[in-house]
Structure 1
Amino acid sequence: MQIEARLAELGITLPKAAAPVASYVPIVVHDNVAYISGQLPFIDGNLVTGKLGQDVSLERGTAAARACGMMILAQLVGADIALDRVAQIIKLGAFVCSADDFSDQPKVANGASELMFDVFGDKGRHARSAVGVPVLPLHAAVEVDAIIALEPA
């Protein structure tokens, strides 16, 4: 219940976990490690689409990455995994739909990374990739996946 209290303190309400858009599962847990499929950014119920450096601002992209991070947490909750079981955010992978000359992918990915730091403190510190790509599913601006260590149930 500590993490739920922390979310409330931060004014964060998690969205409902999104259903997969293709033939995969959103989360797999093996040996107390949760592997969370790439999550897309929904802000106020709308998918954030477009390319960073073209028709999506850095600020909007950072907010989109944060929304992906919130969806990662929602997937844990949706799988009946208490957020207090998170032992460590191991790695985030951020994919940023980017114009050819856009190179601030790490700044965009900070939206998800900083959310994890804010919510989990030192347990939220993680390794990360931030990769520019020409297109993402459903023309999303950002997609973030995660590997998360869990305390035994």
Structure 2
Amino acid sequence: MSVIDKRLKELGIELPEVSAPPASFIHAVTTGNLVYTSGNDCKVNGEFMYTGKLGKELTIEEGSKAARQTMINLLAVLKDHLGNLDRINKVVKVLAFVNSAPGFNEQPYVVNGASQLLEQIFGENGKHARTGVGTNELPFSMPVEIEMIVELKPE
């Protein structure tokens, strides 16, 4: 069992199976020593854990849980793409979109659910640059969409 798989197990996290993309794109692409992921969502067993806008239908706590689940789904994509999460040297960048009601401006607290999980799993190498922005709509009324960039260890 890999180091990261052991850490996930310690945290009680089981990565889901990765399904086919719902549109004309791929989940991840490697160029040089960087992997870029497509945006992902907070589905659990094929269903969104939450839908709606932060500041209207959803609380910051629910949004943070959705961001955490979205990151779990992104880690599943990376494992599927790389074969082993131990190949990741560093989380470089996280870009998060938060489905926000008018006047909601606490996106950073929502996105912390994803960022804190990365630090729990990867330690110092999980600390990353980040952008979290509010948007008036996201596909299928999902509350959060996140993409990321990771650096691979030298071979």
- TM normalised by structure 1 equals 0.95
Alignment of 1:32-71 (within 5 A): 32-43=33-44, 45-47=46-48, 48-71=50-73
- In structure 2, how many angstroms separate the alpha carbons of the residues matched to 1:45 and 1:25? 18
Match of 2:7 in 1: 6
Structure 1 SS opposite 2:130: strand
Coordinate RMSD, CA, aligned: 1.2
Alignment of 1:1-150 (within 5 A): 1-43=2-44, 45-47=46-48, 48-150=50-152
Q: How many pairs are equivalent?
A: 153
Percent of paired sites with the same residue: 42
Residues 47-105 of structure 1 deviation map (CA, whole Å, 9 limit, x = unaligned): 12100000011111000000110011000111243111110000000100000111110
Letter of the structure 2 residue corresponding to residue 12 of structure 1 = I
- In structure 2, how many angstroms separate the alpha carbons of the residues matched to 1:137 and 1:4? 31
Would you say the 8 A contact 1:18–1:75 is kept in 2? no
The runs of at least 4 consecutive aligned structure 1 residues that moved more than 3 Å come to: none
- In structure 2, how many angstroms separate the alpha carbons of the residues matched to 1:44 and 1:20? 15
What is the deviation of 1:35? 0.1
- TM normalised by structure 2 equals 0.94
Would you say the 8 A contact 1:43–1:64 is kept in 2? no
- In structure 1, how many angstroms separate the alpha carbons of the residues matched to 2:89 and 2:101? 36
Structure 2 SS opposite 1:38: coil
Q: Unaligned regions of 5+ residues in structure 2, if any? A: none
